Structure formats: C-alpha cells, structure tokens
Amino acid sequence: MNQSIKKTLKIILPLLLGVFLVWYSLQNVPLEIIFEYWNKADKFWVFLGVFLGLLSHLSRAYRWRFQLEPLGYDIKFGNSVMAVFATYLINYTIPRAGEVARASILTNYEGVPFEKGFGTIVSERIADLLVMFSIILITLFLQFDFIYGFFIEKFNPVKIVSALVAVTILIIAFFRFIKKSKSKFALKARSFINGLIEGALSVFKMKKKWAFIFHTLFIWAMYLLMFYVTSLAIQDLEGISSGAILIGFISASFSIAATNGGIGSYPIAVFAAFAIFGIEKDPSYAFGWIMWASQTLMIIIFGGLSLIYLPIYNRNKTKD
C-alpha cells in the first residue's frame, strides 16, 4: 500500500471511528438526557475533577525536566508545561502527533535535539504503562472474587480455562518466535521489548529517580481521583463501589487509545464497565460524557493558549 495512503488512513480512520461512536452513544442516551444530568450535577465536583486533572498535567511537565537534566538540558518550566498541553490538544486531531510536536517544541525553544527529546517522551510513556499495569493487577487482586464470579456466571468455566491456556501458549510461542526469528517483524518486536525494559530500568539510573517515581505515582493518583470525584457530581451514582470506579477508570483509560483523545469511545467504555456492576445506562453514559467533556474543554483552553503564547514567551529566544 502506498505510504501516503497509509498515513491518510491512520489520521482518518480514528476520526471516523470517533464520529461513529459519538453517534452510537447518543443513540443509546439522547443528548437531552445528558444535558438533564449536567443541569442536575453538582458542579463543585466537576470543577474539582478538572483541577485534579490540571495538577496531573503540571506534574507531568515538572517530571519531564528530571529526564532532561542528565542529558545536560535545564529547560524552562513554562516551556515544559505549554509543550505538554500542546501535546494533548494536537493528539485530538492526529493520533500520536502530539508527542512529535512536543519534542519539536523543545528543539525550537530550548535547543534540545529532537531525537533526545522524543526519547525521553518514550521512556516516560513506559513508566506510565508500568503504573497502568500495576493498577490493573491491584484491581484484579482486590476484585478477584467479583470478576471471577462475573465471568463464571456469563461464560462456561471450561471455555474460560481453555481460553486462558490457549492465550498462555500463544504468549510463550510468541516470545520464543521473537527470540529466535530473524524476520523484520521479530527484530522490530525484539527492539521494542528491549526498549521497554531499558526505558524502565533507566529510571533507576536517573539522578532524581525518587522524585521522578513520586511524580509518576502522583500523576496517576490524580487521574484516578479526578475520575472518582467527578462521579460524585452525579446523584444517581451516589454510593458507587470502589470496584466500579477502578474498573471504570481502567476501561476509560484504554478508550483514549482507541480514538483521538477518547472521542465517542470514552462514555461507551464507562458504561461497559459500570454495567458489570448493575449501574443503569443513563447515569453511566451521562457521567462518561461529563467526565470526558470537562477534561477535554480544559485541554482545549490550556492547549490553545499554550500554542498561542509559546512564541511570545520565547520571543527573545526566537530573535536570537
């Protein structure tokens, strides 16, 4: 397939999927019902959720400086903050383009070589991925009885065990193939896996590793808290269990990767998770939309201001 067609499809398909999922979501719960829930929502909790989200982004910007210091670059906190917000905003248009733009901003305004800036972004994503997997494992441990009971009730136990055995065999076979094969795919996969391991271990070689680890945990604590406190805004979600919050958060987090910034997929992912706990459709979808819309509006405002203010903030550097 032509490379230009591939690039076009990578941009268009997630957007089309997002539009379809928005339509699908609104077919299940009409817009007027969502507005009705918004009008009744306790706005204090919504704005507190936005504030916690803002703290997580500021912490991410501050954490980034720890990664760049060992490379010999002491970047301005203002540039780091604006680059982070610009990343999130641009990712709503073209998937993963924000990361490229973020590294480019450092190159333009701080003189950090693109490949070095981009490398730090990849390593921080690895750290985030490890925390996400940790949250999943903790959730599985805390909610094992419920999750196990749910799958036993919905599916044949023999089929579940067979599926787990089959998946385990496939994983083992995949890693053996990656280890021994000389194919292009195997070499790329091996390089990626080695990069993950190297990136994860590089944290412990960092001068301010404990500060980096603290900010990483703080970022994800804010993500989880903003999800929880925003749920308090919806009266029909009063008394929601910690299990529903954890599984809803995990499901919603993965939805962000499915479409640009979770457009359309976020409320559906929330509903799918909450439905396991018997939570009704209307408040689940309404919460998903309110949660996604409030955080997205914050990104649009601060991301837009960042893109406008970056050249002004660095006007002396630009002149030089």
Structure confidence by residue, pLDDT tens digits, 258-302: 777 888 889 999 999 999 888 999 999 999 999 999 999 999 999
Please enumerate in sequence order all residues whose Cβ is within 8 A of that of 80, keeping only pairs 6 or more positions apart, or say none.
61, 62, 64, 65
Residue 288 lies in a domain: yes
d(CA 90, CA 110): 20
Q: Name the one residue in this structure whose structure tokens are 């610009």.
A: 86
Asked whether the beta carbons of 105 and 114 are under 8 A apart, the reply is: no
Residue 24 lies in a domain: no
From residue 308, alpha-carbon distances to 59, 82, 86 in Å are: 22, 10, 10
Residue 257 lies in a domain: yes
Residue 20 lies in a domain: no
3-state SS class at 167: helix
Residue 186 lies in a domain: yes
Structural Rg of the chain based on CA atoms? 21
Please say whether the dihedral angle defined by the alpha carbons of residues 130, 11, 55 and 215, taken in this order, is positive or negative: positive
Domain limits for position 292: 32-319
The total domain count for the chain is 1
3-state SS class at 195: helix
Residue 8 lies in a domain: no
3-state SS class at 99: helix
pLDDT average, residue stretch 169-195: 77
Residue 313 lies in a domain: yes
Give the least confident one: 4-18, 113-127, 239-253. 4-18
Residue 133 lies in a domain: yes
d(CA 231, CA 289): 11
Q: Which residue has the higher pLDDT, 62 or 125?
A: 62
